[in-house]
Amino acid sequence: MVRDWTAVIPVKRLSAAKSRLRGAVPAARHADLALAMVRDTVSAVLAGAAVAELVVVTDDPVAAAAVTELGARVVPDTPGGDLNAAMRYGADEIAGLNRFRTVLAGDLPALQPEHLDEALGLFEGRSFVADAAGTGTVLLAAGPGEPLDPHFGLGSAVAHAASGAKALTGDWPGLRQDVDTPADLRRVLELGAGRHTCSLLRDLGLTVSCAPAA
């Protein structure tokens, strides 16, 4: 069954994003790294076949301009609360409960479009994909008439399972590998990061090569 999905990615103000990743690049380029990962994630989502529209919820003007150029629709973070509030707003209010909706982390620079398509193709009701560590969540999906009911945060994989969401499993390393720490960033480079993240790190002399993921 072919479905047209609306994807939602919340993006914090770049100056406040990815606090645990600080030190991976010079402080003056930290926001640039956060933006590069968002751009690679957005590019991969829009390159796949499953997603018809991508909504980015953000109040950051630089991020908004960058993802608009890539083809995303930007809406302001009207709830102005936490990550879960932004996800609920984008999925249930902006996209609407009549749609197939999926929310994703914005720090998946090794995401392969075909892996996202494959994961969404397994959907049979409200579902999630756990991160590489198995404790967090990188994707949560809901169908028409189903509230998203996100529980992102510490231990979110267990929380999503407890809320009735089904765990989707597959060999999707780039989808599962979000970037919270410098060690995560090194793993992404091993998997093959997207061109925006690779270009930034090459410019900083932190890597000599990395195969683009998408």
Rounded to whole angstroms, how far apart are CA atoms 165 and 139? 11
Binding-site residues for phosphoenolpyruvate, in ranges, read 137, 153, 156
What's the DSSP call for residue 168? Answer: P
Rounded to whole angstroms, how far apart are CA atoms 195 and 192? 9
In Å, how far are 40, 60, 129 from 36, measured between CA atoms? 6, 14, 23
Q: DSSP readout, 98-143?
A: TSEEEEE-S--TT--HHHHHHHHHT-SSSEEEE-TTSSSEEEEEE-
Binding-site residues, in ranges, read 137, 153, 156
